[in-house]
Structure 1
Amino acid sequence: MERESMDFDVVIVGAGPSGLATACRLMQLAKEKDQELMVCVVEKGSEVGAHILSGAVFEPRALNELFPDWQEKGAPLKTKVTGDDIYLLNSESNGIKLPNFSVPKTMHNEGNYIASMGNVCRWLAEQAEELGVEIFPGFPAHEVLYNDDGSVAGILTGDMGLDVNGKEKDSYVPGMELRAKYTVFAEGCRGHLGKELISKFNLDEGKSPQHYGLGFKEIWDIDPAKHQEGLVVHTAGWPLEQGTTGGGYLYHAENNQVFVGLIVDLNYSNPHLSPFDEFQRYKHHPKISQYLEGGKRVSYGARAMAKGGFNSLPKMTMPGGIVVGCDAGTINFAKIKGNHTAMKSGMLAAESIFQAIASGDEGGKDLADYTERFKDSWLYEELYNTRNFGPAMHKFGMTLGGAYNTLDQNFFNGKLPFNFKDDTHDHEQLKLASESAVINYPKPDNKLSFDKLTSVFLSNTNHEEEQPCHLKLADTDVPITINLAKYAEPAQRYCPAGVYEIEATEQGDKLVINAQNCIHCKTCDIKDPTQNITWVTPEGTGGPNYPNM
């Protein structure tokens, strides 16, 4: 097929913190050196920020470097953290507030801000456009383009106007080729192109597999009398039990709003577990419900997050391309923060790319100097010093693992001479349904807890119905013959949006995929025990439309 093609110096996939930081830093360098540079960012969401979901307590370290005058420029960081409360919830009704000395210092948040990263990304996009970056929302990067020598040549945007069988409708518009000297992949956690590149170029050779958590977030309007602007609450323990790890949070933002959520590590073993329902239970704990009761839920979302840390970081460069941010897994899970690290990885990428192009490089090479820039940066030091945080929790459990991390971080600054590894993939951890306890979750009360479909409605999720399903099954028989038979088809429960259902028909059980509900969390791509599901980009603008998550 003959397609339109556009040439750029740099194409960036994803308008999240890492992609926008890359774009801004590239144009800053070009301006400093008085050099012309053509940079474009493609974003699959309907607008910048539409697909951004993060807690978030934001550490401004990278932003201070990128825009030292960010306050004068009006960055949406208004709510400074005023206090940290950390609780161990030892039952559904009790919790112990932990003293500061017993908590890893990485969990302390002095100097940080409670923020909507969707709004921060909208602001970063404004800065990028002022610097001359072209941003194209509603254009998903569907495929990687390669040169004849195998190097990355750019990306192909997705076709628009295909029916469910892939046939062209009257509204058909073919995707465009966006070619570049260098392509930056900043898709966020479990990006489908990043996943392809890591496999194709063996970027994770010799590394621990990436590990993931599923993070939930709701925004609530609460009683002003209960609101404590700037208070950060973190919890461990209940409702996650029997080897399931993770933790909860509640952040008091501005305008009498709180951000409440739960992270469930996706290495859990019980196929009957429903992360969504664990989150609904969580809100009933007195330490959390005391703030929410009488309030109104105004937004809901969920997103997978990479939490493997330093031991799971792939090589980030390949000929003609680079993977940055959560696409590579740069989150510091010991801090439960990945926005500042994602931004820094993109800024380092920008410096390597600019140096190559400024020296007359026509692209297609491996940016070998990026690895050295990374190793010489505070980003490397921060991730290296927290390398054992997750593996220690998995190896020793929450109590002993937590004690090790407190000792390692507070007294040795992450420099204890041990290297713990977690080399089992999350999807390999599920036990057989017959060997696992069935979990009976309480019905939602529609005051603190809600059902999936009501929640998805609040995410403003929409997809064009007449389009190919973007949740691809390698074998259509596997969900019934293996996943249902052995694991009671866990997709019904691990999906936080009700996408997957088992329907009984006269011909037998059948998997129904409600792709219209998909909120692009990528959990199915991660947790499916047979790795039979591949998430790819749907038609442009599809998915959630988060206003200020």
Structure 2
Amino acid sequence: MAYDVVIVGGGPAGLSAAIRLKQLDPERSVCLIEKGSEIGAQIVSGAVIEPRALNELLPDWKERGAPLNTPVTEEKLLYLTPTKAFPIPALHLFMPAMDNRGNYVISLGDFCRWLAEQAEALGVEIYPGFAGAHLHVNQEGRVEGVVTGDMGVGRDGKPRSDFAPGMLLRGRQVILSEGARGSLSGEAMSRFFLREGVDPQTYGLGIKEVWEIPKENHRPGFVQHSFGWPMDNHTYGGAFLYHFGENLVSYGFVTALDYQNPWLSPFEEMQRTKLHSAFRPHFEGGRRLTYGARVITEGGLQSLPRLSFPGGVLTGDSAGFLNMPKIKGTHTAMKSGMLAAEAVHEALEQNAFEATSYQTRVQESWLWSELYTARNIRPSFSKWGMMGGALYSGVDSLLFRGHAPWTLHHHRPDCDTLRHADHCRKPDYPKPDNTLTFDRPSSLYLSNISYDENQPCHLKLRDQHLWASVNERLYAAPETRYCPAGVYEVETSGEDERPKLRINAQNCLQCKSCDIKDPAQDIHWTVPEGGSGPNYPSGM
């Protein structure tokens, strides 16, 4: 199947790119594929959106019925100790990046579904349930499309009776909008050396729940963020809580994956934070509706790769456009998609192989300016710890307004930061009470995960012996703790009773944390069959 443009990923970046392409040329043939069972199926709801890019893309979004129904009405930033919560005074003055006035709390899944409706109305062909397996590259080294994954392959790797081979979707240009740690994006970066000369990308693991609470406790538009406890001074992370929709609360916790203690469990940190007096009252009398997890890019401007390559471009979190101090990536993803569309449109008009103007367009836009002023915040926490980073962030924001005459850098990938297990203390995590805190299996049940268990395992362990000598011996199998879905278990078998790693791929939330944090880089995430994975319902 041949198109002018093939887009991979049905998130804000990919859908914005599709809409902008059709605005520029209604006759342009545009195809978008999404590995989830439907648009929005793998996006856990509850996000704060800055409508700046939406205003540019669709100025009449209110008349079109965009699901931005809960404006931010109140916000807090708290520094937590084990028993106290200290609000940061004059938040808008000392931390302007946290200023959410004029923003909205939304269901991001529903927002993407709405964007998909706008795209389809313009003639974009959208195909959910199709995962991009690899790039199609011609003999001259130019990307000419995407090959989707085979369907109906058995666990033994052999075709079943319902086998259907993957399709080649030819595109004169390909826009990669897969989100953080996308597999095709990784293939493009490796093949075309897009990461040469830039800092390593660093990531955070976001784990999220959506609750329904009693109406009398609901405060539509209330936004709360926290830092400090339960993280130690060497670990970056914090919680967020948003009231939105019909008596809904989105709660989550982000743990930076450059943490050092291999005993740390992001899932357990997220659960025990709910017990703090700053969060507990928001859940009383409520019930959990859904649970999910996903990595986000935290590297910022220093970690952005080269954005174009022969036959394609990178957008959104595939490149790393999230603004970490704001803890927002929707508006930046949308803007990158729009700029990519404009550059791709120009390349098609000129019959050029590469959309080289994309890099310049980004650097001349408010997107680059925003990431530039935010560039030193995240690396300051890695350099000076939680307290030092918080102090520097206040000085950078208040005194320099993001224009300090220096740039801090990320020096190591997240897989290189763990200390040996016998040099670290085990955290004392409380047992779940099944009212406010829960275990992984009961949480996973709420993700509505669907996999054909007969399909090949999409999580590849390259070398069991390497895992045993590095992960298990030195770091006490950290994947059993950083995975929020219980995918990895250590078991002993055989006469020698040596430990082996068991992979329960049917539990995978597709968060990508294993592909990032594995200290031996022995675990490799590949795309499962299209449509596999979590399925988060509309309205959550």
Q: Give the whole-Å Cα distance in 1 for the aligned partners of 2:290 and 2:453.
A: 23
Equivalences for residues 303-318 of structure 1 within 5 A: 303-318=294-309
Give the TM-score of the pair, scaled to structure 1: 0.96
Partner of 1:334 in structure 2? Answer: 325
Residue identity opposite 2:300 in structure 1? G
- 1:265 is aligned, of 245, 249, 256, to 256
Q: Give the whole-Å Cα distance in 2 for the aligned partners of 1:506 and 1:536.
A: 29
* CA-to-aligned-CA distance 1:303-355 (integer Å, 9 cap, x gap): 00100000000001000011110000000001000010001001000001111
- 2:426 is aligned, of 430, 438, 447, to 438
Partner of 1:407 in structure 2? Answer: 395
Partner of 1:75 in structure 2? Answer: 66
- 2:504 is aligned, of 489, 506, 514, to 514
Partner of 1:3 in structure 2? Answer: none
Partner of 2:47 in structure 1? Answer: 56
1:398 is aligned to 2:393: no
The answer (yes or no) to whether the contact 1:189–1:305 under 8 Å persists in 2 is yes
What secondary structure, in the 3-state scheme, does the structure 1 residue paired with 2:264 have? Answer: coil
Q: Give the whole-Å Cα distance in 2 for the aligned partners of 1:54 and 1:534.
A: 27
* CA-to-aligned-CA distance 1:153-201 (integer Å, 9 cap, x gap): 1110000001111101001000000011000110000001101111211
Partner of 1:468 in structure 2? Answer: 456
Shift of 1:238: 1.0
What secondary structure, in the 3-state scheme, does the structure 2 residue paired with 1:286 have? Answer: coil
Shift of 1:54: 5.7
Partner of 1:525 in structure 2? Answer: 515
Q: Give the whole-Å Cα distance in 1 for the aligned partners of 2:248 and 2:44.
A: 16
Partner of 1:136 in structure 2? Answer: 127
Aligned residues: 536
Q: Give the whole-Å Cα distance in 2 for the aligned partners of 1:440 and 1:376.
A: 49
- 2:336 is aligned, of 339, 345, 367, to 345
The answer (yes or no) to whether the contact 2:381–2:390 under 8 Å persists in 1 is yes
Q: Give the whole-Å Cα distance in 2 for the aligned partners of 1:99 and 1:298.
A: 33
Q: Give the whole-Å Cα distance in 1 for the aligned partners of 2:457 and 2:530.
A: 13
Q: Give the whole-Å Cα distance in 1 for the aligned partners of 2:127 and 2:175.
A: 15
- 2:278 is aligned, of 282, 287, 302, to 287
1:547 is aligned to 2:519: no
The answer (yes or no) to whether the contact 2:233–2:386 under 8 Å persists in 1 is no
The 3 A distance-change label for structure 1 pair 284 and 52 is same
Q: Give the whole-Å Cα distance in 2 for the aligned partners of 1:74 and 1:476.
A: 52
Partner of 1:30 in structure 2? Answer: 25
What secondary structure, in the 3-state scheme, does the structure 2 residue paired with 1:57 have? Answer: strand
1:451 is aligned to 2:442: no
* CA-to-aligned-CA distance 1:10-53 (integer Å, 9 cap, x gap): 0000000000000000001103xxxx211000000000001123
What secondary structure, in the 3-state scheme, does the structure 2 residue paired with 1:166 have? Answer: coil
Partner of 1:21 in structure 2? Answer: 16
Partner of 1:204 in structure 2? Answer: 195
| Higher deviation after alignment, 215-224 or 93-102 | 93-102
Residue identity opposite 1:121 in structure 2? C
Equivalences for residues 1-20 of structure 1 within 5 A: 6-20=1-15
Residue identity opposite 2:534 in structure 1? P
Q: Give the whole-Å Cα distance in 1 for the aligned partners of 2:62 and 2:326.
A: 24
What secondary structure, in the 3-state scheme, does the structure 1 residue paired with 2:415 have? Answer: helix
Partner of 2:37 in structure 1? Answer: 46
What secondary structure, in the 3-state scheme, does the structure 2 residue paired with 1:477 have? Answer: helix
Q: Give the whole-Å Cα distance in 2 for the aligned partners of 1:435 and 1:399.
A: 23
- 2:81 is aligned, of 79, 90, 93, to 90
* CA-to-aligned-CA distance 1:125-180 (integer Å, 9 cap, x gap): 00000000000000000011001100111110000001111101001000000011
| Higher deviation after alignment, 439-448 or 298-307 | 439-448
The answer (yes or no) to whether the contact 2:135–2:145 under 8 Å persists in 1 is yes
The answer (yes or no) to whether the contact 1:57–1:112 under 8 Å persists in 2 is yes
Give the TM-score of the pair, scaled to structure 2: 0.98
* CA-to-aligned-CA distance 1:214-273 (integer Å, 9 cap, x gap): 001111111222211111001001111251111111101121111011000001111111
The answer (yes or no) to whether the contact 1:316–1:324 under 8 Å persists in 2 is yes
| Higher deviation after alignment, 390-399 or 322-331 | 390-399
Residue identity opposite 2:517 in structure 1? K
Shift of 1:411: 3.5
Which consecutive aligned stretches of 4+ in structure 1 deviate over 3 angstroms post-superposition?
Answer: none
The 3 A distance-change label for structure 1 pair 54 and 525 is farther
Shift of 1:475: 1.3
Residue identity opposite 1:515 in structure 2? A
The 3 A distance-change label for structure 1 pair 162 and 217 is same
For structure 1, the residue ranges without an aligned partner over 5 or more in a row are: 1-5
Q: Give the whole-Å Cα distance in 1 for the aligned partners of 2:60 and 2:121.
A: 15
What secondary structure, in the 3-state scheme, does the structure 1 residue paired with 2:220 have? Answer: coil
Q: Give the whole-Å Cα distance in 2 for the aligned partners of 1:183 and 1:498.
A: 35
Superposed CA RMSD in Å reads 1.1
What secondary structure, in the 3-state scheme, does the structure 2 residue paired with 1:290 have? Answer: helix
* CA-to-aligned-CA distance 1:466-519 (integer Å, 9 cap, x gap): 111101122122222221011101010000000000012244222110000001
Partner of 1:534 in structure 2? Answer: 524
The answer (yes or no) to whether the contact 2:29–2:124 under 8 Å persists in 1 is yes
Shift of 1:55: 4.4
Residue identity opposite 2:525 in structure 1? W
The answer (yes or no) to whether the contact 1:55–1:261 under 8 Å persists in 2 is no
The answer (yes or no) to whether the contact 2:233–2:385 under 8 Å persists in 1 is no
For structure 2, the residue ranges without an aligned partner over 5 or more in a row are: none
Residue identity opposite 1:534 in structure 2? H
Residue identity opposite 2:493 in structure 1? T
Residue identity opposite 2:3 in structure 1? F
The answer (yes or no) to whether the contact 2:75–2:100 under 8 Å persists in 1 is yes
Residue identity opposite 1:347 in structure 2? M
Q: Give the whole-Å Cα distance in 2 for the aligned partners of 1:100 and 1:260.
A: 24
Shift of 1:410: 3.0
The answer (yes or no) to whether the contact 1:232–1:251 under 8 Å persists in 2 is yes
Partner of 1:484 in structure 2? Answer: 472
The answer (yes or no) to whether the contact 1:333–1:390 under 8 Å persists in 2 is yes
Partner of 1:158 in structure 2? Answer: 149
What secondary structure, in the 3-state scheme, does the structure 2 residue paired with 1:333 have? Answer: coil
Equivalences for residues 145-224 of structure 1 within 5 A: 145-224=136-215
- 1:366 is aligned, of 326, 339, 354, to 354
1:500 is aligned to 2:488: yes
Q: Give the whole-Å Cα distance in 1 for the aligned partners of 2:247 and 2:8.
A: 35
Partner of 2:230 in structure 1? Answer: 239
| Higher deviation after alignment, 71-80 or 197-206 | 197-206
| Higher deviation after alignment, 293-302 or 120-129 | 293-302
The answer (yes or no) to whether the contact 2:464–2:500 under 8 Å persists in 1 is no
Q: Give the whole-Å Cα distance in 2 for the aligned partners of 1:143 and 1:82.
A: 44
The answer (yes or no) to whether the contact 2:340–2:358 under 8 Å persists in 1 is yes
The answer (yes or no) to whether the contact 1:11–1:179 under 8 Å persists in 2 is yes
The 3 A distance-change label for structure 1 pair 189 and 55 is farther
